[in-house]
Amino acid sequence: MDRRIEDRPSSGRCASPIGMIQISANDDWLLSVTIGSDESAPMLDDHPGNTLVDETIRQFDQYFRGERQVFDLPLAPVKTPRGQILRDAIASISYGETASYGQLARQFDSGPRAIGSACRRNPFTIIIPCHRVIAANGVIGHYSGGEGANTKKWLLHFESSQRERTKP
């Protein structure tokens, strides 16, 4: 094995109302966030000393308590400039709001299928809020995290209700 132990990503989990959230990070970047990992599957919770995993867990706790609307974490870079544009498009949707695939496509000079593909490949569920992307006719559509569309509906309802609760 030629990789040093320090180079190996650390992982951790945090419980949430939508299931277990699995986090992977190295010392510099958050590498992935997934919802609904098999809670019975063995997973090394090997993040002692990885402050980024700890910070990600802290920010998720704040999010689910309604105390955080925007995450501030160093995300692993996208491999292409176009991929970064699509990530930025999804990230531009405000907390408690939604946008259609077509709206984002027009706004960021892309196509609805490219937006959908970026959502499917998004390794940072909730942080890059692909759950806020819906069909033009208001249909919730697919979601690759947790229990799919049910998780997406829960997240949209949660954000909407938190936003209403905090209005002046």
| Residue that has been written with the tokens 């959502």 in this structure | 119
Enter the tokens of residue 74: 């160093």
Among 29, 18, 15, smallest CA distance to 57 is for 15
Catalytically active residues, by annotation: 130
Q: Are 141 and 149 in contact (CB under 8 A)?
A: yes
Can you tell me whether residue 130 is helix, strand or coil?
Answer: helix
CA atoms within 13 A on the CB side of 79: 5
Q: In whole angstroms, what is the distance from residue 142 CA to residue 152 CA?
A: 8
Burial 32-52 (b: 16+ CB within 10 A, else e): bbbbbbeeeeeeeeebeebeb
